Amino acid sequence: MTTFKVLKFQLRDLVRSRWLLGYTLLLLALTEALLRFGGSGPRAVISLLNVVLILVPLVSIVFGTMYLYGAREFIELLLAQPVGRPALFAGLYTGLALPLVVGFLMGVGLPFLWAGPGEGSGSGSIGLLLAAGSLLTLVFTALAFLVSVLVVDRARGLGLAIVVWLGVTVLYDAILVLVATTMADYPLELPLLGLTLLNPVDLGRVLLLLRLDAAALMGYTGAVFERFFGSTLGTGVTIGALALWVAGPLLLGMRRFVAKDF
C-alpha cells in the first residue's frame, strides 16, 4: 500500500516538526487560560470556539501550503519511484492532515481532560468543539493541497492561501451582514441560510452553537438556522456540508495532482 507507506514516513517527519509542536502548545495555553479565567459553562466553550474558528483554518492552510511547497522536490523524487499518483496523493494528504488533527485534539482536548467534567459545559459541547475543529483542519488542509497544485509559484500560493482564509473568516461574514442589512425589507432567510452552508467556518460555528442553545449569540443566520432545522437535523446538515467541504477540494486537488506536470 503506497498510501500507507508514504503516510508512515510523513508522520515521522511531521511529529518532529517544531511548527506543529508550537501550534499544539499555543492551543494548549489558550484553552487552559480560557478555562481558568474565562468563566465556566458555555461561555468558556464559546470563547474557545471563536479562537478555534480563526486559528485552526489559518494554521491548517498556511502550514499546509508551506509544507507542500517545501516538499516539492521530494514529491518529485517520490513520483520518480514506481508509485501511482493517486496513492501518493492520498498518502501525502493523510500524512499532513492527521498530525494537524492530533495536534489540535491534544491542544484543546487535554486541558478539558484534566479540568475534569463540570468545568466547561458538559462533554457534549466539548466533543462538538473537537469535532468542528478536526473537520475544519481536514477542510483547510484539503484547500492547502488544492492551492499548492494549482499555483506553481510559492509566494503566490501562500498569498492565495491567506486570501482564502481571510475570505472565509472575515470577508464572508462582513458581506453577509451587509446584504442582510441593506435588504432587510426582503425575506432573506432562506438565501442567507444557503450562503451559510457555503462557508466552512460558519458551518463550524453553527455546528456548535446549535447545541449550546446559544443560536441567538451568532446573530441572524444562527437564528434562522435553528428555526429552520432544529437542533438534530441542523447538526446532521452542517456535518454533511463540512464533509462536502473536505471532499470537494480534495477531489479537485487529486484530479489536478494526477494530471499535472511537475
To another protein, the closest distance from the beta carbon of 193 in angstroms equals: 41
Cβ closest to another protein, residue 6 vs residue 46? 6
CA separation for the pair 173, 221 (Å, rounded): 10
| Closest-CA residue to 243 (of 149, 105, 136, 144) | 136
Cβ-contact 169, 53 below 8 angstroms = yes
Nearer to another protein, 184 or 259 (CB): 259
- C-alpha cell belonging to residue 37: 479565567
Question: Residue written as cell 432573506?
Answer: 188
CB 75 to another protein: min, Å: 10
Compute the least distance from the CB of residue 102 to another protein, in Å: 16
Of 84, 28, 68, 72, the C-alpha closest to 51 is 28
Residue 208 in grid coordinates: 456548535
Q: For cell 496513492, name the residue.
A: 87
Our CB check for another protein shows the closer of 43 and 85 to be 85
CB of 5 to another protein, least distance (A): 5
The letter for the amino acid at 247 is: A
Sign of the alpha-carbon torsion through 30, 102, 84, 74: positive
Length of the chain: 262
Give the residues lining the site for another protein (CB under 8 A): 2, 5-6, 8-10, 12-17, 70-74, 76-85, 259, 261-262
Nearer Cβ to another protein (114/262): 262
Closest CB 115 distance from another protein, rounded Å: 32
> For residues 8 and 156, which CB has a smaller minimum distance to another protein in the complex?
8
